[in-house]
């Protein structure tokens, strides 16, 4: 299985991390002695289920490395365009229908064990898209005061994860809808409104469960979708704000850190 790591984000002056990046890539922010994306590359590279990695948004001379074959491709200017370019690159390297891991460069706490867990679940089924969610109690126990954005469902309260998967056939679906969904990924209510007032109403009154929500979204795309309830908070601990950056810096600097 191949992994696509998206690292094209450069915070704008009005965004919270701009004072830290000053127009440079967020993926290269220092976290406990190495670039944030290097933590992700180390975890993916040590996974027993990953054959190769496509890194989007950084140049080959940026200094990052990986234990698996690593291909660099340029930023295409948007999340959807980057994912599509990554899928196309994987198809060049390893043609044919297949599942691909989609990994954000800003989840430095992940480990190879977590990557293996997602890959194993994916390879046990044949869905088109797999989306990780982290229950609030798991997130807040592991990362108190992380200030995540939570979605209140009928059966649980969750935040989204940034270690997901898709089948290559999924790129043949409605690309405009994909783009709108990706742009709304930090706003659960905006996402829900895209799939009809019934979904939005059920979400507002907390009468829609996780699997039902995923099935409704998947039907809108004419795809088969599956939600993965992650036992690992690290999968949802993406770095968007200064307090989150300082939190993961302190966590990964500890001598007993899982990745040390």
Q: How far is CA 192 from CA 46, 152, 215, 228, 250, in A?
A: 36, 12, 13, 18, 35
Would you report the helix, strand and coil content of the chain in percent, each value rounded to 5?
40, 20, 40
Between 51 and 205, the more confident residue is 51
Is residue 166 within 8 A of residue 129, CB to CB? The reply is: yes
Computed on alpha carbons and rounded to an integer, the radius of gyration of the chain in Å comes to 17
Is residue 63 within 8 A of residue 35, CB to CB? The reply is: yes
Between 126 and 43, the more confident residue is 43
Domains of the chain, with CATH numbers?
Answer: 2-253 (3.90.550.10)
* pLDDT tens profile 9-32: 888 999 999 999 998 999 999 999
Is residue 125 within 8 A of residue 154, CB to CB? The reply is: no
pLDDT for res 204: 47
* pLDDT tens profile 190-242: 555 555 544 454 454 455 667 676 676 666 667 788 889 999 999 999 999 99
pLDDT for res 260: 45
Q: How far apart are CA 57 and CA 60, in angstroms?
A: 10
For 106-115, 130-139, 216-225, which range has the lowest pLDDT when averaged over its residues?
216-225
Between 189 and 43, the more confident residue is 43
* pLDDT tens profile 158-192: 888 999 999 998 887 655 555 555 555 555 555 55
């Amino acid at each position: 299985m191949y992994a696509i790591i998206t690292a094209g984000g450069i915070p704008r002056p009005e965004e919270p991390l701009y004072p830290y990046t000053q127009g440079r890539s967020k993926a290269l922010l220092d976290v406990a002695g190495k670039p944030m994306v290097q933590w992700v590359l180390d975890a993916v590279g040590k996974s027993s289920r990953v054959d190769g990695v496509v890194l989007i948004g950084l140049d080959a001379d940026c200094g990052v490395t990986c234990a698996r074959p690593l291909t660099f491709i340029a930023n295409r200017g948007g999340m959807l365009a980057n994912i599509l370019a990554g899928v196309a690159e994987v198809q060049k390297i390893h043609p044919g229908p297949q599942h691909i891991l989609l990994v954000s460069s800003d989840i430095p706490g992940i480990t190879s064990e977590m990557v293996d867990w997602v890959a194993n679940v994916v390879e046990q089924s044949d869905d088109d898209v797999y989306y990780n969610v982290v229950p609030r109690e798991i997130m807040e126990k592991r990362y108190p005061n992380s200030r995540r954005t939570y979605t209140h469902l009928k059966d649980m309260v969750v935040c989204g994860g940034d270690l997901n998967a898709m089948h290559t056939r999924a790129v043949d679906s409605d690309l405009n809808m994909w783009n709108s969904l990706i742009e709304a990924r930090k706003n659960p209510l905006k996402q829900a409104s895209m799939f009809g007032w019934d979904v939005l109403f059920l979400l507002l009154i907390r009468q829609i469960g996780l699997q039902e929500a995923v099935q409704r979204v998947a039907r809108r795309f004419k795809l088969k979708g599956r939600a993965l309830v992650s036992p690992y908070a690290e999968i949802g601990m993406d770095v968007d704000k200064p307090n989150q950056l300082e939190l993961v810096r302190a966590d990964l600097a500890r001598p007993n850190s899982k990745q040390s």
